[in-house]
Amino acid sequence: MPAKTTPPAFESWGRYPKHRADVVPLYWTSDFPLSAPPPAPMLAVGMGRSYGDSCLLDGGTLLAARGLDRFISFNPANGLLCCEAGVTLAEILDFAVPRGWFLPVTPGTKFVTVGGAIANDIHGKNHHVAGTFGCHVPRFELVRSNGQKYDCTATQNRSLYEATIGGMGLTGLITWAEVQLRPIVSRRIKQDSIKFTGLNEFFALSRESQHLEYTVAWIDCVATGKNFARGIFMRGDHSEQPEELKLSGKPKLTMPVDLPAFLMNKGTIGAFNTAYYAKQFAKRKTGLIDYEPFFYPLDSVLHWNRAYGKQGLLQFQNVMPWEPGEYQEGFTQLLKAITASGLGSFLAVIKTFGTVKSPGMMSFPAPGPMIALDFPVRGERSFDLTEKLADITAEYGGKMYPAKDARMAPRHFQQFYPQWQEFARYIDPAFSSAFWQRVTALA
Ligand SMILES: Cc1cc2nc3c(=O)[nH]c(=O)nc-3n(C[C@H](O)[C@H](O)[C@H](O)COP(=O)(O)OP(=O)(O)OC[C@H]3O[C@@H](n4cnc5c(N)ncnc54)[C@H](O)[C@@H]3O)c2cc1C
């Protein structure tokens, strides 16, 4: 049996809530099931880049799958990669980019594992054309706590395939997976950044950019009055000019300590947002940009979450269904509630999701506008705000993203994911998570 370690406790990226469980590292796919039954329940985890408690357990055993880090096979003719589930997207890029291949879908950090990417069925800036990560995973192996192994595809063990994509790690351990990469000839992205003011302008830019592969916008979530909903819309495509495909450098900066929580306040956030908006002087800026700053601006500073202090941060991410006509009342109400609170941070992005359907039964993305933003944890003030945002989401028929959540009430989760009881049939009886226990508790 692999050696057991206790401290340090496994933290999620938001560092809230704090729970403690035993951590058992896995190094070989044969390490699971463990030879001696560990304290129940269990949950596989990757890099802990989920913000809330979907990668945490309060008691029980976390199976740290990051040690399953081997590449298994690669077909250079069609870009089909097979690797163990603890391989990170950063490692795939280091392997694939010099060979002329790129990730089919990537989140805003490359420090996530393939297992984590499948379990949360992550999305990226190309959701409107490529769908979710799960759309590009034709096969994976799932191992259940009773030792049963399932080769899962869209036709073989189909129910477990669909329940595991977006299944929040609850259906068992993913040991390896196939990922379909996409070809590139350059590291660079043809980027177009356009300043906008107001949601109508944002929606118009989204509509006219649907033919481009990547779209996302940064939004100033503290500006009010004539500056309400101002932001910078970024869109781009992979450059078609062939050039040398070099390896990326390693991040050089690390946030060395937890910053005092008071530094993250309305004044500093407002000042940062104003400076960020003013940084781009022209209404529109076009150019070639390396994929690292385009996709992963935050990865250049390791442990940037320490900027929120020891209390940590909450992330709120939801999607709202399109309302008829141009005016999107629900999304506007949501943004007004955020700006009125003055609690939002400078890390706020909006995007419109497309209609590509995921195979995942519990997958989060759905057509409509989505917002993702961070809040410093400020006790009841921040909890009241996230509850209010959840209420608005529920009122307008939207849903929130479990990978980013630490506060969703059972009534909200069960409304957002009405299929949750059907999904529960596929949960491994020995698996659970702090998130699942919270959102399925009797209201
Ligand atoms: C800066 C930043 C930007 C982000 N941007 C985006 C974004 O744009 N889009 C997006 O969708 N997400 C985004 N995320 C969230 C992140 O992509 C997901 O939370 C992702 O799932 C984290 O992967 P991980 O390896 O850290 O897994 P963890 O956070 O450790 O675990 C996530 C889930 O995967 C399960 N899991 C992990 N490994 C396995 C395995 N081997 N078998 C079974 N289950 C497993 C866990 O049980 C858990 O439910 C972002 C996060 C950060 C910090």
pLDDT in tens, 145-171: 999 999 999 999 999 999 999 999 999
Please report, for residues 17, 33, 197, 229, 230, the alpha-carbon distance to residue 225 in angstroms, rounded to integers and kept in the order given: 35, 58, 11, 9, 10
Range 88-104 burial, b when 16+ CB lie within 10 A, else e: bbbbbbebbbeeebbbb
Give yes or no for a cis peptide into 17 (omega within 30° of 0).
Answer: yes
Written as one string, the DSSP assignment of 320-357 is: -PPPSSS--HHHHHHHHHHHHHT---S-EEEEEE--PP
143 lines ligand 1 (CB under 6 A): no
Residue 46 lies in a domain: no
The pLDDT of residue 383 is above 50: yes
Residue 240 lies in a domain: yes
Distance 403 CA to ligand 1 centre (A): 7
Residue 7 lies in a domain: no
Q: Which two tokens stand for residue 360?
A: 């995942």
Q: Does residue 183 sit in helix, strand or coil?
A: strand
The pLDDT of residue 262 is above 80: no
Q: Does residue 374 sit in helix, strand or coil?
A: strand
124 lines ligand 1 (CB under 6 A): yes
Written as one string, the DSSP assignment of 236-304 is: EEE--S----PPPPPP-EE--SPPPGGGSSHHHHHHHHHHHHHHS-SSEEEEEEEHHHHH-GGGGEETG
Contact (Cβ atoms closer than 8 angstroms) between residue 417 and residue 121: no
pLDDT at res. 249: 85
Contact (Cβ atoms closer than 8 angstroms) between residue 386 and residue 315: no
pLDDT at res. 302: 87
In the chain, % helix, strand, coil (3-state, to 5) comes to 30, 25, 45
The upper half-sphere exposure of residue 3, i.e. CA atoms within 13 Å in the direction of its Cβ, equals 4
Residue 85 lies in a domain: no
Measured in whole angstroms, the distance separating CA 36 from the mean position of its chain's CA atoms is 33
The pLDDT of residue 263 is above 60: yes
Residue 384 lies in a domain: yes
| 226 Cβ contact list (under 8 Å, min separation 6) | 197
47 lines ligand 1 (CB under 6 A): yes
Residue 75 lies in a domain: no
pLDDT in tens, 224-259: 999 999 999 999 999 999 999 998 888 777 777 777
131 lines ligand 1 (CB under 6 A): no
Choose the weakest-confidence range: 125-139, 294-308, 345-359, 383-397.
294-308
The upper half-sphere exposure of residue 189, i.e. CA atoms within 13 Å in the direction of its Cβ, equals 22
Residue nearest to atom 11 of ligand 1 (CA): 122
Atom of ligand 1 nearest to the CA of 349: 8
Q: Which two tokens stand for residue 308?
A: 């929120």
The pLDDT of residue 40 is above 50: yes
**Sheet with 22-25, side-by-side order of all strands:** 22-25, 61-64, 42-45
pLDDT in tens, 57-115: 999 999 999 999 999 999 999 999 999 999 999 999 999 999 999 999 999 999 999 99
How does residue 176 score in pLDDT terms, banded at 50, 70 and 90?
very high
pLDDT at res. 266: 74
Residue 12 lies in a domain: no
Task: Tell me how crowded residue 156 is: count the other CB atoms within 10 A of its CB.
Answer: 11
Distance 165 CA to ligand 1 centre (A): 12
Phi and psi based region of residue 59 (left: phi greater than 0; alpha: psi -120 to 50; beta: remaining): left
Contact (Cβ atoms closer than 8 angstroms) between residue 410 and residue 439: yes
User: Domains in the chain: how many in total?
Assistant: 1
How does residue 5 score in pLDDT terms, banded at 50, 70 and 90?
very low
Residue 433 lies in a domain: no
pLDDT in tens, 179-236: 999 999 999 999 999 999 999 999 999 999 999 999 999 999 999 999 999 999 999 9
Residue type at 411 in one-letter notation: R
CATH of the domain at 391: 3.30.70.2520
pLDDT at res. 255: 77
Q: What is the mean predicted confidence (pLDDT) over 26-35?
A: 96
160 lines ligand 1 (CB under 6 A): no
Q: What is the mean predicted confidence (pLDDT) over 41-47?
A: 98
Rounded mean pLDDT of the chain? 94
Choose the weakest-confidence range: 142-151, 357-366, 372-381.
372-381
List, in sequence order, every residue forming a beta bridge with 63; answer none if it has no partner: 24, 44
Distance separating alpha carbons of residues 334 and 396, to the nearest angstrom: 10
**Domain enclosing residue 348, as ranges:** 188-407
Q: Which of 11, 89, 109, 347 to mutate to test the pocket of ligand 1 (most atoms within 8 A of CB)?
A: 109
Contact (Cβ atoms closer than 8 angstroms) between residue 312 and residue 258: no
Report the chain's C-alpha Rg in angstroms: 21
From the number of C-beta atoms within 10 Å of its C-beta (0-12, 13-18, 19+), residue 56 rates as buried
Q: Quick one: which H or E segment has residue 394?
A: helix 379-395
